[in-house]
């Protein structure tokens, strides 16, 4: 049995650098800010609330970039993670420093070892070069081939 | 307490007409909707769109562009639902000669009753979700160039703060 997890995440750029969190320590890949959503709020509203909590800054989701579908084992369970990645802009762009635990990486040069899920490193460099003026993409990662027939890959939406 | 409903719908727009079906849920007057249904465990959104159209209409389609993400907060019976619907533009996988309706094999067990409607006819019809109808007809005229869009429908203002409307996505 696969359980479904919905989440929202931010592709947030500060001075052209992608903001990543390091919830699993400095040696682990970073993750885009975001989290699982609660019911009763829209996806962009959930992301704005989560970013306020994680960054202490008001941000707005301006464009859907990626829907990442991952089928993966997690903590003994089998999960279908449906993650929505939005290009975000800071509304309080007053140069306030980012909280501890955040790192900045160049989205044009991000490596698979720097970001989780690693599949983001396949699309971020080219999309950053296009200033993210791109159509949304579906990124599929299937680590449960016995449970799902989904074919891993990058698909244009 | 809201429950989550994840659905995928296929917008088959063929030769200037939308493929829709009449649905009767027993609670509302019969209405038109796109083919589609619930996301199953283990399948992607695109696979769901493909499977649903195959099951409901016997038509193999190629899902393409994501046109709308519809977030709908509503009652159904005693339940309060947060439904997220992903609407994909789909094309028949093979060339169709003649009317699209002639190549369909509707699933009568599911009471699928396919029809083809022009954007104008759809605009006049009882189509659900109604908020999608207006932007859908306008977007069709522009070959959906301004899509994707987010559509928010809030019938639970006492529970949810979301503002209904159509937004760029």
Interface of A with B (CB under 8 A): 1-4, 6, 39-45, 63-64, 67, 69, 71, 80, 82, 135-136, 138, 140, 144, 147-150, 155-157
Complete DSSP assignment for B29-65: --EEE-EEEEPPTT--HHHHHHHHHHHHHS--EEEEE
| Region B13-23 average pLDDT | 94
Give me the domain span that covers residue B92: 2-168
Nearest residue of chain A to residue B87 (CA atoms): A157
Q: What is the pLDDT of residue A91?
A: 87
- Predicted confidence at residue A62, as pLDDT, reads 95
DSSP state of A37: P
Query: Mind telling me how many Å the CA of A85 is from chain B's nearest CA?
Result: 11
CATH number of the domain residue B49 falls in: 3.90.79.10
Q: What is the pLDDT of residues A81-130, one digit of tens each?
A: 999 999 999 987 667 788 888 999 999 999 999 999 999 999 999 999 99
Q: What is the DSSP string of A82-104?
A: EEEEEEEEESS-S-PPPPTTEEE
pLDDT in tens, B118-165: 999 999 999 999 999 989 999 999 999 999 999 999 999 999 999 999
On whether the CB atoms of residues A23 and A110 are closer than 8 A, the answer is no
Q: Find the residue in A nearest to B169 (Cα).
A: A63
CA distances to A12, A37, A144, B115, B135 from A87, rounded to whole Å, are 6, 17, 29, 38, 23
CA nearest neighbour of A79 among A87, A94, A69, A89 = A69
CATH assignment, A2-156: 3.90.79.10
- Domain-by-domain residue ranges, chain A? 2-156
Structurally, how many domains does chain B consist of? Answer: 1
- ipTM score: 0.91
Q: What is the pLDDT of residue A93?
A: 64
């Amino acid at each position: 049995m696969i359980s479904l997890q919905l989440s929202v995440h931010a592709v947030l750029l500060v001075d052209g650098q992608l903001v990543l969190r390091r919830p699993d320590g400095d040696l682990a890949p970073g993750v885009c800010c975001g989290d699982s959503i609660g019911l009763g709020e829209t996806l962009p509203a959930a992301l704005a609330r989560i970013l306020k909590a994680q960054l202490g800054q008001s941000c707005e989701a301006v464009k859907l970039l990626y829907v990442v579908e991952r089928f993966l084992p997690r903590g003994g369970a089998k999960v279908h993670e449906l993650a929505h990645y939005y290009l975000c802009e800071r509304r309080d762009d007053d140069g306030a420093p980012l909280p501890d635990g955040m790192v900045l990486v160049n989205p044009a040069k991000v490596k698979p070892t720097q970001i989780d899920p690693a599949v983001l490193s396949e699309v971020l460099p080219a999309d950053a070069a296009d200033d993210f003026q791109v159509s949304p993409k579906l990124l599929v990662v299937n680590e449960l081939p016995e449970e799902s027939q989904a074919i891993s890959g990058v698909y244009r939406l | 307490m809201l429950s989550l409903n994840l659905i995928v719908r296929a917008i088959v727009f063929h030769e200037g007409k939308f493929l829709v079906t009449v649905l009767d849920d027993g609670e509302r007057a019969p209405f038109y909707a796109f083919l589609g249904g619930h996301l199953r465990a283990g399948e992607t959104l695109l696979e769901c769109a493909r499977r649903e159209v195959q099951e409901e209409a016997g038509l193999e389609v190629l899902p393409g562009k994501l046109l709308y993400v519809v977030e709908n907060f509503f009652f159904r019976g005693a339940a309060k639902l947060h439904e997220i619907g992903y609407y994909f533009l789909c094309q028949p996988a093979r060339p169709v000669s003649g009317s699209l309706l002639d190549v369909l094999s509707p699933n009568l067990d599911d009471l699928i009753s396919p029809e083809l409607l022009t954007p104008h006819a759809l605009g006049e019809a009882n189509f659900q979700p109604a908020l999608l109808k207006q932007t859908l007809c306008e977007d069709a005229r522009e070959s959906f160039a301004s899509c994707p869009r987010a559509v928010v429908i809030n019938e639970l203002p006492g529970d949810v703060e979301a503002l209904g409307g159509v937004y760029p996505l």
